[in-house]
Homo-oligomer: A and B are copies of this chain.
């Protein structure tokens, strides 16, 4: 069998995505509040594995988990002026408790800076209280007026991991920003999701931040999805919330802060980046079931085959794998293949009477659907090797696919043409001026993602190069894309 095709996946990605999340099922979009959805058991298990990775990388780097209340009083939400200006049109307000109007309106958190930082003020007094590094995983709310899209543009973000840190000096906070970027890079690497790291232009920063670094990936339809952001906040929020510590000389200094967020968009990307026309394809670390064992029963030898399947399952489980035996009656093996391929299970093991006779089993890998017979003695070793190999191939395939979607262009027309025909990300020479950038966005009908975070990612324009927008002297490369 050849590799499964990725036709519906790439040609009608939106329909493909809706079908997969409904059929696995991952997320039920029929809940009667626009822009929300229900995490179904299998989807919830994927989410759990993804969150395990996120927690692992954050805890390894000294972040501690906490949990803040949902509701933010209006007077706190509006303390940092840029922040509230940006959020005031998209905040849900609780105005009544029972029939009683509330004295203070309460916002459903759109993000938790303004909930957390009044507490930072209470917790931070001395130098020894720093650095402070916490995170929480919660739901946040945005009253999106644009068309919503499951897991990607929602009104209830059900899965928002937000980390918040405070430091004694600018240098330490900038170092933390770098650590945040590294933590996210590791998370996406474990998910095999390719990404580019880009510094957002000033007009597209997180409201209240000095600098925002974003992680972008390219979806099957060529549109870009922002899957994570790391913000250097400077002292803006510290001033607004009066968060100070006493220095050794007895004077007080405002703390320096960073925050970084990641949401279920990471899961939407995980689903989208690896999938094919048969459904999900999951890297082994996040697959709720890593190996499924399917009995190929023949009359008279049913019990024997089932017994062998269970033995195989137990052996694999003892070696630490997540295994399931699909022993449903009255369902053909073909139907079972369909189910488990849809669910993205990395390895399928087929066992029939002939396999028992020859002391073998057949391994089928999800990414290519290639079959390999293995000797029972080598089973655990071969399954583990195959899982590793699939993971490597998924990482490679998705990386190559994304690389093919990033190209340079000389002119606005070229850029527009690229985005119209092939999507992805286009790199252009740019002068760096805000009004030129905003003009450029309008002309190309695209978003300027910004300049590369990684200095060596792309070469700067040669001297004498011209800005693709205004024709002035270009001093940097910018990335441009149609985005979600």
Chain A interfacial positions (CB closer than 8 Å to B): 28, 30-33, 36-41, 44-45, 47-48, 64-73, 76, 88-100, 106, 108, 115, 118-119, 122, 134, 139, 141, 143, 156, 158
Within the complex, which residue of B31, B47, B68, B108 is in contact with A68, where a contact is CB–CB below 8 Å? B31
Contacts of A33 in B (CB 8 A): 69, 71-73, 106
Contacts of A98 in B (CB 8 A): 88-91, 143
B36 lies within 8 A of A119 (CB): no
Contacts of A141 in B (CB 8 A): 70
> In the complex, A95 Cα to B102 Cα: how many Å?
12
Per DSSP, chain A at the interface is: mixed
Give this chain's copy count: 2
A36 lies within 8 A of B90 (CB): no
Contacts of A67 in B (CB 8 A): 38-39, 44, 47, 158
> In the complex, A93 Cα to B44 Cα: how many Å?
28
> In the complex, A440 Cα to B32 Cα: how many Å?
45
A95 lies within 8 A of B95 (CB): yes
Least distance between A381 CB and chain B CB atoms (Å): 25
Within the complex, which residue of B72, B89, B115, B122 is in contact with A99, where a contact is CB–CB below 8 Å? B89
Contacts of A31 in B (CB 8 A): 68-69, 115, 118-119
Least distance between A435 CB and chain B CB atoms (Å): 28
For A30, give the chain B residue with the smallest CB separation. Answer: B122
For A65, give the chain B residue with the smallest CB separation. Answer: B44
B108 lies within 8 A of A94 (CB): yes
B69 lies within 8 A of A143 (CB): no
B122 lies within 8 A of A68 (CB): no
Contacts of A72 in B (CB 8 A): 33
> Could you list some 15 contacts between A and B, CB below 8 A?
A28-B119, A30-B122, A32-B73, A32-B76, A33-B71, A38-B67, A38-B68, A41-B65, A45-B65, A88-B99, A92-B97, A93-B95, A93-B96, A93-B97, A97-B143
With A30-B122, A44-B65, A70-B70 given, name 16 new contacts (CB 8 A). A28-B119, A28-B122, A31-B68, A31-B69, A32-B76, A32-B118, A33-B69, A36-B71, A37-B69, A45-B65, A69-B156, A69-B158, A70-B141, A90-B98, A92-B96, A94-B95
Q: A68-B31, A98-B89 are in contact. Are A41 and B134 (CB under 8 A)?
A: yes
Contacts of A73 in B (CB 8 A): 32-33
Least distance between A313 CB and chain B CB atoms (Å): 18
For A106, give the chain B residue with the smallest CB separation. Answer: B33
